Structure 1
Amino acid sequence: MNRLRWLLAAVIAIELAWLAVPVFRRLNSTRIQAPPLQLYHDSATARDLARLPDRFLFDSLEKWKELANAYLAYGHYAQADACLKAAQELDSQSPDVALQRGLCFERLGQLEPAREQFQKAAAGSRGLLSSRAWYHLGRLALRAEDREAATHAFEMAGETHWASVYQRAKLMVRGGQPESGEKLLKTLASQHPDDLHVWLLRSQALAAQGKTTEAIAANDRAQRSLSTLVFDDTELYLRPIRRQFGLVRDFAEAREGLRSGSSREAAESLAEALIADPLWSNCYLNVNQDAAELALQAGRPALAQTLLDRQITDLRFPSAKYWEVLGDLALTQGKTELATDAWQRSSTIS
């Protein structure tokens, strides 16, 4: 009987010890001091970012990378770097962590630490990640006015990293090698035939070669082109991360509901929440007109009117989009003269 009691006691002790391990890990998990979120974000975004650390019971590489992504996406670079530093302590060889940490240092103005992290990312990776690291090294070299180092970095980024190809061409054209630059620009134009920057630089390269007629034609083409070349793909990386949180997520859900015709509720809820949000003024400048457009598409003109009124009375920002949406709203109300006047104002501004 005593032996059985000892066995039961041993089993219970082992179970208690086993349960104590995750409790101990949870109690000793590291917490990064959050930025003053309510000073920078709408209520929904601030709430989501504040709750994000609670998704993770324990410290892990996944935890630090996800927190860093969120903080980096919303511009909290000091907090992002603290998370990435913790991630590097768990995996010192991770090239993607090094690249992100380089981005944080770069935005914090700490260029030498940024260079070290980009070099680490470039040395430990291949493909697009390596190209991105070399491209950022090239940009840092340009800031230091080190033409040779910049040229080397952009070459190492690869022949199909088009932003780097453009930078190489620009260095050639402005460095007295317009013929070599023009060759790169022709290749670049095959991938970005309607890019403003490519045509402007081609115009400069042709003019430097004395090809005046061709230079004028290239400049004319530039006037009819748009910017299609991405010079910093960081935004492309961060945009889907923002869509996981707060107002950006709500806008995406509202647009998808209206686009698919499945629901208008998300657009209505978004407009109502934005009107009631005491932190709405932390949002980007166009937020009221964008929400008003969705409310109007959802068949809620009163909500649209409230949002448009606020854009004028509180922000004093009568943009082209504001007048366009106001014209659409007036048309639904049967105010054709007001609608026409608003659309004309929109056309004049744009």
Structure 2
Amino acid sequence: MTISDHITEFHGLPVFNLPDPGAKDASKPLAKAAFRSPAGVAWRVAIEPYDSKETWPEAFARFLAATDTTTVSALVVGPWGESDDTSATVIDAIVEARDRLPALRAVFLGDIVYEENEISWIHQSDVTVLLKAFPDLEEIVVRGSEMLSFPPLTHKGLRALTVQTGGLDGEVVRGIAASDLPALESLELWLGVDNYGGNTTVDDLELVFTGVRLPRLRHLALCNSEIQDEIAVAVASAPVVARLTTLGLAMGTLGDEGAEALLAGQPLTHLERLDLHHNFLSATMRERLLAALEPAGVTVDADKRDAEEDNGWRYTAVAE
């Protein structure tokens, strides 16, 4: 699977692309409505990944000048330069403008599709700089893991954190797990593969499994992993699971070993949804899961797959 489409909705709002300078679509009804009521959309600011006529900070400055940004609650950051340019310049520009963005509650950092840059080539930076500058931020999505940093921090407002990668460094995971995030309700981590920097181990997730620093967590997704069976075994006895409403172990190499651990472990019948899509389960194991959980009202997404057709080779949904 590749990420081929830009997001069209974020933080409950439709995404609106800031028009290029002099673009004809700036006069269209949607654009007029966005500029008239800037709080009604999630603003996407991006430049051409190669040979752009302006830098991302210059495009962002046009956004700040074009409308009343004091009511903008959601910002989507698209390509900010060439493949080896980091997000530090982007974060610095947003932080510098924080007085112009008092209502900002959500940031998507890296709405970049494969034609613009492969997910494992996207260069990030220390994203906690953004969180520290915006104590009222409620949601952040980060795509890409090259040079990504997340030192432990305390943030009392963050409710949703998603990190999408083809390979997530264990140090980043440990930083997230060690952070004090008392309001966090949703945590989604794409762990990826070793070939693209995905060296996270089950031990790195220990503080997530205990849930001690995540008292309000209700949605947990530890997915897109080549150690999906090991993660499932750990999840089977993880204290945090008892308070979840949705659990995701999708997009990875989950097989019968991991599913067996889930069935033999703590009850999962309190869940509203168990997401296991993109898996390597046998038909028999899939039927056992459905029989154990669906009568209790759990929605189980365990898409059909013939495990034999892959000749023993398992792969994650997203890598490069």
TM bucket (normalised to shorter chain) is 0.3 to 0.5
Structure having the larger proportion of residues in strand? 2
Q: Which TM-score applies when normalising by structure 2?
A: 0.34
Structure having the larger proportion of residues in helix? 1
Larger Rg: 1
